[in-house]
A and B are shown apart, each in its own frame.
Chain A
């Protein structure tokens, strides 16, 4: 953050970038509105409170909810934040505004195509549908337009990353010896992780699903496309999370009245995510036949080490916030909490999002536990978990961050702080109701992704409370969450329509307490870290993929079965090497 902007607001200094960011945010927020509405209908439908759709249409809505919120909203918002962060921290505009609009255009076209294919499911005579949910597991098949839209969207994100790398390269020519500014470092490491991980879904969609949906190939290998999905499906979790982390590290301390505690540690955390995000995807497949236990064990160890950067983040962020509180006159072991700016919706929203992320982290540790996972796999526990993580740590941070970021790109003051404050608190309370009930319902065995969680042959039992009470909590929580989104969109809309102000928000970001000077320069060696990340991916995935292709009937399925050949001895060696490697990296960090 060596180049915190001197005079001039972002929108005045970088008008082209501000326009690109505004467009990205607009698409993100429209998707948020539609996705949240679908969420409300689902929460009321599956709890039997209010039914306005057929149960068969529930899955069309669920697909829309997942794709619009977890892909379109989060990633468009990420693009806006990253575009802002790169221009701000490098203190230079993008190399070509036309190129920036090209990726916005390509991503938007892709998102619109995928959405049309999904919404087609509501019109039976149209012959177009994509009721395949967010995970689109083959052999469930969507209309080709859905896969083509997805592919265009992903390519668009690749171009957005290229935009930021081009800015960095140009900056580097002018500043040959400087450390990469922290925010740009965060953007670049996140994008490298994204390039590595989207390779999986790109192969799955382009080589298998598009030709198959067009009828060019007859079948696919279901376990292969599923594994390729999860190769991408877990790193995308960190792709959602990294813009939130960027805001927690570089903006939240300032909002709290202080500054970031440690710049080097922030770099270490982002590098750990780059290294460990991808070779863990098989932990979503603990219950899959056709994958040897050794590979699941490797994914499990990597996953556990992935707790480390999040635990380090908890320390650094809390320490930075405490420093801010003490700067504001806070005293005592815990009394300093009272000195924080709780009336500021940007601060309060991010702080509540962080607190909820801790709860989500704990339920995630259960998911990651290879054997205890059997109890909750594919139950309502799982959406309970990720509504705390992507649904709150990410979504609430993005909404709260908007109260500080949007004025910087519109040049207008936030319409209402009290409404903003009410909105973030409402989200938190709504999520407390919905998520705790979902977790408990999962422990009772109630499955996820179903329109009718009542069955003929048996009843679900819960040790504490009642199933009725869980339903009421889910319906109530879902309603509060939807109202919170309405308040948010209303507040942002009126903000953007407001009068221009000379100083819409205090946008200055102070330097960290410990700067990057003392940290080893090797942290900035992006090529080396990319190489190590690639090696870890090769170690974790080559053998499982080979086994799946060989034993599961070849690349396209449908062939003759071949007996399992991957030897247990090889498993053991690989497990030992990888976990030793992880331990080593854990210690180095």
Chain B
């Protein structure tokens, strides 16, 4: 098959570009350790989410020094926690999110960051985020989820450690009192 010299050169450059792209992404995943959303979060039964030990009363849980788990339920048209009351995390902490949906498919996006995942009924999206300085972030649903989709939003408040600790202890005490 006759291929023009310029065509061959172009073909070679195109292949270099493609292999280069794959290389940078492989480096990002293996070298820089950029985590992907995958199947490690496991599954839940969406029908009995209310009785689930974590998603039944979603929120933040300390699991080590400076390290936390956050459980979030997305449902038409709120994040729990996040919408009626902000999701509070301490500054300088490492937080692993576990996000699922109770009814239809939703999105979970922390605005202006790459913390972004789909929330699918039956599936748990798990990803880890490092929080820096105190401040506030917006969160929103970025997958169409029904006629009120545009009001589905929330807030993450990054608090000073001491401030967070006293809030967290108060929460724990309240939880125990209720039980």
Contact = CB atoms under 8 A, between A and B. Distances in A.
Interface of A: 55-56, 58-59, 62, 131, 133, 137, 139-140, 221-223, 226, 261-262, 264-265, 285-293, 296-297, 300-301, 304-305, 307-308, 311-312, 315-316, 319, 365, 368-372, 374-375, 377-379, 444-445, 447-453, 455-458, 460-461, 514, 518-520, 547, 551-553, 557-564, 566, 579, 586-587, 589
B37 A458 contact: no
B28 interface: yes
Contacts of A374: 114-116
B104 A139 contact: yes
Given A131-B147, A265-B7, A520-B1, A455 B17 contact: no
B169 interface: no
B112 A461 contact: yes
Interface string B99-128: 110011101010110111110111111100
Interface residues of B, number: 71
Nearest to A460: B111
Q: Which 6 A-B pairs have the closest CB atoms?
A: A458-B138, A452-B150, A561-B43, A289-B125, A378-B142, A374-B114
A562 B39 CA distance: 12
Given A377-B142, A447-B109, A519-B1, A456 B40 contact: no
B144 A59 contact: yes
A431 B81 CA distance: 40
B10 A289 contact: no
A560 B46 CA distance: 10
Given A289-B117, A457-B155, A551 B43 contact: yes
Contacts of A460: 111-112
Given A140-B146, A449-B144, A264 B43 contact: no
Contacts of B142: 377-379, 447-450
Contacts of A378: 107, 109, 116, 142-143
B5 interface: no
Given A287-B117, A447-B109, A457-B155, 12 more contacts: A56-B148, A131-B146, A222-B121, A262-B7, A287-B118, A304-B18, A304-B22, A312-B14, A369-B24, A374-B116, A379-B142, A551-B42
Interface of A is mostly: loop
Contacts, number: 219
A349 B24 CA distance: 36
Interface of B is mostly: mixed
Nearest to B45: A561
A59 B151 CA distance: 14
Contacts of A562: 43
Given A312-B10, A312-B11, A448-B142, A553 B116 contact: no
B122 A291 contact: no
A552 B18 contact: no
A519 B99 CA distance: 54
Nearest to B124: A289
A137 B105 CA distance: 7
B117 A311 contact: no
Contact of B122 (A312, A518, A557): A557
B21 interface: yes
Contact of A307 (B17, B45, B115): B17
Contacts of B22: 300-301, 304, 579
Nearest to B10: A315
A308 B14 contact: yes
Contacts of B2: 264, 514, 518
A458 B136 contact: yes
